[in-house]
Amino acid sequence: MEQEHAVKAHACHRFEPVHSRRAMLRTSACGLGMLALADLLAGDSRCQSAEAQAASNPLAPRPSHFAARAQNVIFLFMHGGPSQVDTFDYKPLLERDHGKPLPFSKPRVFSSATGNLLKSPWAFRQYGQSGAWVSDLFPHLARHVDDLCIINSMWGSNSRHGGALLELHTGSDTFVRPSIGSWITYGLGTENANLPGFITICPTLTHGGVNAYSSAFLPAVYHGTPLGNASIPSDQAKIPFIDNADKLPLDLQSLELQLIQQWNAEHQQTRGPDPALEGRINSFELAFRMQTTAPELQEIHDETADTQRAYGLDNPATRNFGRQCLMARRFVERGVRFVQCSHSYKWDQHGGLKADHGRNAVEVDQPIAALLADLKQRGLLEKTLVLWGGEFGRTPVAQGDDGRDHNPQGYTMWLAGGGVKAGIRHGSTDDYGYYSVQDKVHLHDLHATILHLLGLDHKRLTYKYAGRDFRLTDVHGEVVHEILAAS
């Protein structure tokens, strides 16, 4: 089954001579782009059955392996590594033993020397029915704890940003591998032919850069489409080349498109049927539709003032990430499969923990709370899996007197919506929040679980490359059944 799946999905862009209507469509990454073309080419090019389209279009929605709980994913990536013991992992003993040495050994491999235990500068309180502990860093988000599934027992294998960031996004901390968004789009396709299936808003350019959203050896259609990058405010983040360099109005561009397609049709008549040529004709149609859909990609002017305010767009501190969150909601609403928002490389507090974690939290707290509320109110949360976290956590021991070092040994991520149990905490770290000790969840397990929620078996979602069947979880990963909601 997975073999067949893999073949179908990637056969689509190879050169293949035409021997059937269906094959003709295969090389096209955009089998739906037949509308205007129909006027230009002979009548037999008219639309095919939906089945034929699905088989031919690598981005067409595809059935999952089993019933899916979630349709879409929003990943809120906190680049740098937020501290678990200052956010969602309350450790009374850390507070009590502040200043004392850690009573057990530190990991063999670490980033830099650390000192004694450092209590959190923020108070923790319990919220909601679930009574989950949240620090004062996240007052807005704290009101949504009953929607969250907080995993306190995350762990990974790499203590450096570069390796850990790749591991989080691709499962490998050593090699260039397809990112999780690419795998998911490859597995499920996307539901809006006019938008990319995998969008990453303002991705970071460092610590692996593109590798965090690249399709690597998967076909290029599954590559994440970046909207801007971390150097660009989110209100200016755009798809590459979506805006015309000379700011041509659409009517003039549409005339150009007509001319191109007329010439292409002439060309094609002298060459005979060729799926590659036809695919390229289609791609221009899709590109033009994408361009006309561009406002959905870039603008939010049709959102109400209340909505914009809820996401914090009226406040300079929250405006940037708030807009990312709002765009993320708009995208999943329109069927984009995987959306990533990045709060880029801000959470790396080797020093200045108090000031900088404080500022970072302010920047994301209200927007994330608004996103959860908005998704819920629109009935989208049920089918949208929201994931929050960084590439690792931080040490409960101090670096200097106001900082914490990297810590992949035990940290917190949370999920919401999309078929996870709401209002629970899963797993735990030791008394001080250094190591994950109970119900440990490795990144591979998280990946397996995310795929599972999307109806994909991580062992069956494979792609053959360099003589081997590859999968997101390599040879690891176990679905964390304890956090799945009863269906």
Partner 1 sequence: MQIPTSSPRLIRWLLYGCAVALCDCTAALVLPAALSSQGLHAQESANATQIDAEQRQNFEKKVRPLLAEHCWSCHGQENAESELRLDSLEGLLDGGTRGPAILPGQPEKSLMITAVNHADRLQMPPKQKLPPAEIAVLANWVRDGAYWPDARPAERSERVREAAPEMLRDEDRQFWAFQPVNRPPLPEISDRGWAFGPSDTFIRSRLDQEHLRPVAAADPATMLRRATFDLLGLPPAADDREDFWSDPQLDRFDRLLDRLLASPRYGERWGRHWLDVARYGDSNGLDENLAFANAFRYRDYVVRSLNRDKPYDQFVLEQIAGDLILDPAAPSSDPLDPLIATGFLALGAKMLAEDDPLKMQMDIVDEQLDTLGKAFMGLTLGCARCHDHKYDPLSMSDYYALAGIFKSTKTMENFSVVAKWQERPLGTPDQIAQRSQIQATIDAQQKQVNQQIAALNQELLAHVRARSREYLLAAAAQIWQERTQRSIGTALGIAAATGQVAPVTDPEAGSVPSPQVLEAENYQRGNALKHFNGYGEGIGVILSNGNGGWHAEYDLSVTDAGWYQLEVRYAAAASRPTELSINGKLVRSDALREVTGSWYPDTQKWHVERVVELKSGVNVIRLSRFEPLPHIDKILVARVDPALDVAALFAAENPTDSSPVRADSYELKAPFVDQWRQRLERAEAEADGPLKEWRAWMVASKGPEFRPSLASAQALAALATQTGQRLAAAEQQWQQLLKTRASAQAEPPNELPDADAESFRKLLYESMPGAPLAIPSNVEEHYAPSTKDALRRNRDELQQLRQSLPILPETMAVGEGTLEDLPIHLRGNHTSLGKERVPRRFPRILDTEPPAPLTASQSGRLDLARWLTRGDHPLTSRVIVNRIWIGHFGDGLVRSADNFGRLGDRPSHPELLDWLARRLLDRGWSLKSLHRELMQTATYQLSAENHDAAQLADPDNRLQWRHPRRRLEAEAIRDSILAVADGLDLRMEGSLLPIANRAYVTSTANVNPQIYDSPRRTIYLPVVRSALYEVLQAFDFAEPSVLNGKRDATTVAPQALFMLNSTLVAQQARAIATQLMRQPMQEEGARIEWLYQKVLGRPPREGERAAGTQFLQTYASHLERSEPNLSSDDRWLRVWQAVCRSLIASNEFVYVD
Where in 201-230 is the site for partner 1 (CB under 8 A)? 204-211, 214, 216-217, 219-221, 223, 225, 229-230
Is 192 near partner 1 (CB under 8 A)?
Answer: no
Q: Contacting partner 1 (CB under 8 A), which of 290, 375, 448, 456?
A: 290
Site for partner 1 in 146-175 (CB under 8 A): 157, 159-163, 165-166, 173-175
Site for partner 1 in 248-277 (CB under 8 A): 249, 251-253, 255-260, 262-264, 266-268, 270-274, 276-277
Site for partner 1 in 402-431 (CB under 8 A): 409, 430
Q: Contacting partner 1 (CB under 8 A), which of 53, 130, 192, 283?
A: 283
Site for partner 1 in 17-36 (CB under 8 A): 17-19, 23, 27-30
Q: Which residues pair with 154 in a beta bridge?
A: 411, 441
Q: Which residues pair with 155 in a beta bridge?
A: 442
Q: State the minimum distance, in angstroms, from the CB of residue 280 to partner 1.
A: 5
Query: d(Cα 188, Cα 71) in Å, to the nearest integer?
Result: 9
Residues in contact with partner 1, total (CB under 8 A)? 118
Is 110 near partner 1 (CB under 8 A)?
Answer: yes
State whether the Cα torsion 264-268-270-275 is positive or negative: positive
Is 97 near partner 1 (CB under 8 A)?
Answer: yes
φ, ψ of residue 208 in degrees (nearest 5): 110, -25
Q: How far is CA 238 from CA 202, 212, 225, 261, 386, in A?
A: 9, 18, 10, 26, 23
Q: Contacting partner 1 (CB under 8 A), which of 22, 52, 93, 115?
A: 115
Tokens of 121: 């500068």
Give yes or no for a contact between 384 and 332, defined as CB atoms under 8 angstroms apart.
Answer: yes
Is 89 near partner 1 (CB under 8 A)?
Answer: no
Of the pair 55, 142, the CB lying nearest partner 1 is at: 55
Q: How far is CA 80 from CA 174, 215, 345, in A?
A: 19, 23, 5
Residue 464's SS3 state is strand
Q: State the minimum distance, in angstroms, from the CB of residue 139 to partner 1.
A: 21
Q: Which residues pair with 75 in a beta bridge?
A: 340, 387
Q: Which stretch binds partner 1 (CB under 8 A): 135-143, 239-247, 365-373, 412-420?
A: 239-247
Is 111 near partner 1 (CB under 8 A)?
Answer: yes
Site for partner 1 in 47-76 (CB under 8 A): none
Is 113 near partner 1 (CB under 8 A)?
Answer: yes
Q: Contacting partner 1 (CB under 8 A), which of 179, 200, 344, 360?
A: 344
Site for partner 1 in 354-393 (CB under 8 A): none
State whether the Cα torsion 246-247-252-253 is positive or negative: positive
| Residues whose CB falls within 8 Å of the CB of residue 228, separated by 6 or more in sequence, listed in order | 201, 202, 234, 236, 237, 238
Residue 469's SS3 state is strand
Of the pair 68, 290, the CB lying nearest partner 1 is at: 290
Work out the angle at residue 431's Cα, subtended by the Cα atoms of residues 430 and 432, and round it to the nearest 5 degrees: 90
Q: State the minimum distance, in angstroms, from the CB of residue 430 to partner 1.
A: 7
Residue 26's SS3 state is helix
Is 39 near partner 1 (CB under 8 A)?
Answer: no
Site for partner 1 in 310-339 (CB under 8 A): none
